[in-house]
Amino acid sequence: MDLGLKGKTAIVCAASKGLGRACAHSLAREGVDVVIAARTEGPLMDTARFIAEDTGVKVIPVIADVATEEGRAAVLAACPTPDILVNNAGGPPPGDFRDWDRDDWIKAIDANMLSAIFMIKATVDPMMDKGFGRIVNITSAAVKAPNDILGLSNGARSGLTGFIAGLSRKTVCRNVTINNILPGPFDTDRLHATIEAGAKQQGKTAEEVANARRTQNPAGRFGQPEEFGDLCAYICSAQAGYLTGQNFLIDGGAYPGTF
């Protein structure tokens, strides 16, 4: 299937590794030029080189923290009017809400709610003017089925989800869609860091905890980032103009509800 994206431009935030990197790679395979951002130079440059060599598109790496105003300005300077915007940032740490103060909450809200809202604010009107735009926010399965130790994530991402529900109905008439993808357990550095933290807490090995989590999942495995990236590319496709305001759970069937 040709997704009709050849020659378009995308900003993919937090894209040197994991799910962001997979979204950038899937879009690049469809002929999209990508601006990718992350805070650490080495992995970002490696990813930029890999995507450019593998797909032949133009890849611009920007070293930036998208949770900050300066970081977002640097990304937008590299691509002021993208056709596609994928919002992403690192997830907040786990813990007990009794230990979090205002600064902890502000950090989580900056990274997992406001960074996406300000990137959208900077790009959505030009998208509407030209009659094409696709915005995807990477959130979490925890938005649908909250995880008690990830209260910062549950709270900040639910705020973003509520905001998107309203805005996405205001942009679709100009062929600008805004959707969220909610990952369950995907085989990335973030997942392995969470597994190691859980193993320490439970006095088990990381392998034991990882095996238990794989077994609990109806698919019997973790998701592969490429599966996530390809879903993102479809949501960004020319064909997906009637899809907006949705929360796409991709979790191997882990969420047990009918709807």
Q: In sequence order, which residues have a C-beta less than 8 Å from that of residue 126 and are 6 or more positions away? A: 80, 81
Supply the minimum distance, in Å, between the C-beta of residue 29 and ligand NAP: 18
Closer CB to ligand NAP, residue 40 or residue 239?
Answer: 40
Closer CB to ligand NAP, residue 116 or residue 172?
Answer: 116
- Strand segments (E) across 79-120: 84-87
- Structure-token pair, residue 50: 């890999």
Supply the minimum distance, in Å, between the C-beta of residue 123 and ligand NAP: 16
Supply the minimum distance, in Å, between the C-beta of residue 253 and ligand NAP: 15
Closer CB to ligand NAP, residue 27 or residue 38?
Answer: 38
The one-letter code for the residue type at 245 is G
Residues interacting with ligand NAP, by CB under 6 A?
A: 14-20, 37-40, 65-67, 88-91, 111, 138, 140-141, 183, 185-186, 188-191
- Checking 186-192 for CB contacts under 8 A at 24+ apart, the result is 186/18, 186/19, 186/222, 186/223, 186/224, 186/225, 186/228, 187/222, 187/223, 187/224, 187/225, 188/17, 188/18, 188/19, 188/225, 189/17, 189/18, 190/18, 190/90, 190/91, 191/222
Closer CB to ligand NAP, residue 63 or residue 128?
Answer: 63
Supply the minimum distance, in Å, between the C-beta of residue 41 and ligand NAP: 8
Supply the minimum distance, in Å, between the C-beta of residue 216 and ligand NAP: 13
